[in-house]
Amino acid sequence: MNEYFKNMSKDRLLAILGDFAANWLAHDGAWFLAAEKEHGMEEAISLDREAWREFSPVEARRIMKRHGIAAGGGLDALKKALGLRMYAMLNEQEITDETPESFVFKMVDCRVQAARRRKNFPDFPCKSVGIVEYAEFAKAVDPRIKCECIACPPDEVKRDCFCAWRFTFTE
């Protein structure tokens, strides 16, 4: 690790972590806009879906390794891993248990969608990307977990969140 980081205070490191997450998201957005400009929205979304298909399990496995989350750890492992994603540094998220075999994950505040709304852009239609992203992330944590979209743009967004996902543990 770079000596510069080793000597920083915890508060400074946390601030830098937030910067890194915001920079990652800004790059993701810039990449998407370039793909959209070159290939159109439909193809850019298709490319984005495939990128998330590859990235989501990598992110899940790295989180699990770093934080000692055992593979096959069920819903508790998934809840912990979701809270350690880069998005968790930037977006307000909420998890509500439904049953012993399921929970709902909500993106209460989404930095991407909020920025689009500030610019008077329509919501980004991220549902097809999210279906791949969340399903692949959950499967990497525990293949017995299934993901279902409750609501995500272009669906009419529920008033209390930008998107919502149900995770169910199946034997």
**Of 103, 85, 100, residue with least CA distance to 148:** 103
Q: Average pLDDT over the chain, rounded to whole?
A: 94
Query: Domain segments of the chain: what residues?
Result: 10-169
Tell which wins on pLDDT, 158 or 79: 79
Give the per-residue pLDDT at 1.
63
- Residue 21 reports pLDDT greater than 90: yes
Locate 170 and state its tokens: 């199946």
Q: Is residue 25 within 8 Å of residue 90, measured between CB atoms?
A: yes
Strand partners, 94: 106
Per-residue pLDDT reduced to its tens digit, 72-98: 999 999 999 999 999 898 999 999 999
Per-residue pLDDT reduced to its tens digit, 139-151: 999 999 999 999 9
> Could you tell me the pTM of the whole model?
0.92
Per-residue pLDDT reduced to its tens digit, 32-53: 999 999 999 999 999 999 999 9
Give the DSSP letter of residue 8: S
**Of 119, 111, 96, residue with least CA distance to 165:** 96
CATH 3.30.1380.20 assigned to 10-169 = yes
Give the per-residue pLDDT at 3.
84
Interatomic CA distance for residues 136 and 119, integer angstroms: 31
Give the DSSP letter of residue 1: -
Tell which wins on pLDDT, 29 or 67: 67
